[in-house]
Amino acid sequence: MKVRSWLLAVIVVTCVLVPIDLLAAQPPGRQKTDTTPVRQIGVYVLPFYRSSDTPDGHPDVRIAKAYNALLASNRKEDILSAEAGIESKPQLITPMTLMVLAIRMYDVGLRDRGVFWFYVAKDRYITLTKVIDGNSPGLNGVDDAVKSFAILAGPYFNSYAFCDPARQYQLAQDAIDWVEKNPYQAIYMEQLAPLPGDRTTNLKHSIDGIRESIAKEHSELSDPAKVEWMRNARKANHVDEQFCWKN
């Protein structure tokens, strides 16, 4: 059986071709009249991640033994250390780990890096779904976890990212470049049943498809009328006040 179509729809709507009205909407739990800067992404995706209830508290992180403690820290240096470790050995880093890295980057003020890793997590997951049969036992729980991260954290990242559409476009391109340069090695595990076709070929087609989606989104947001509508809607919903503040 192929990966659930409803999941891919959620991932695409939340993270790739984001409808322009969603770029001006409030993230879950935020009030339309709220102007408070959003400095923390508060989400629960159990058992992998539970954000702290207070800004100075520590989240509960359970995604990879090597990085749990670092990613639960509120020190920017520790989050950067986790990033360095992940970049040094990226082959089998799960999309869930990348999602948590993205969230913690945002929380410590490294918001551009957070957007980058959120897109990397999304792209790495999509490439997996285009190569591996979603019914493979080794993927139990992965689709639901990534769906939850995308639904809950995606609006925060996109609300910030589209403060500057040109920067967002560059980060999206940088993310798929990283995914292509660092293919997820789980794709080649023999214990994970592949979809029909050659794995490497399917991976390339997936990467090409993501690039096409990024280009299409960029084209959509090059329409001055749509850009003006989005700016006005974001202003009405106080999205810029919540997300476009300077560190």
How far is residue 49's CA from residue 91's CA, in Å, rounded to a whole number? 22
**Residue 28 in this model has a pLDDT that exceeds 80:** no
How far is residue 3's CA from residue 191's CA, in Å, rounded to a whole number? 17
Mean pLDDT value across residues 188-206:
95
How far is residue 95's CA from residue 103's CA, in Å, rounded to a whole number? 12
For the stretch 43-70, pLDDT in tens is 999 999 999 998 789 999 999 999 999 9
Per-residue pLDDT band at 25 (split at 50, 70, 90): low
**Residue 23 in this model has a pLDDT that exceeds 70:** no
Strand ranges across the sheet with 60-61: 44-45, 49-50, 60-61
Contact 210/126 with Cβ under 8 angstroms? yes
Count H helices, E strands: the chain? 10, 3
Contact 160/244 with Cβ under 8 angstroms? yes
- Cβ neighbours of residue 124 closer than 8 Å, sequence gap 6 or more: 95, 98, 179, 184
For the stretch 128-186, pLDDT in tens is 999 999 888 778 788 889 989 999 999 999 999 999 999 999 999 999 999 999 999 99
The backbone region for 109, taken as left when phi is positive above 0, alpha when psi lies in -120 to 50, beta otherwise, is: left
pLDDT recorded at residue 30 = 64
Number of domain units in the chain: 1
Residue range of the domain that includes 137: 5-243
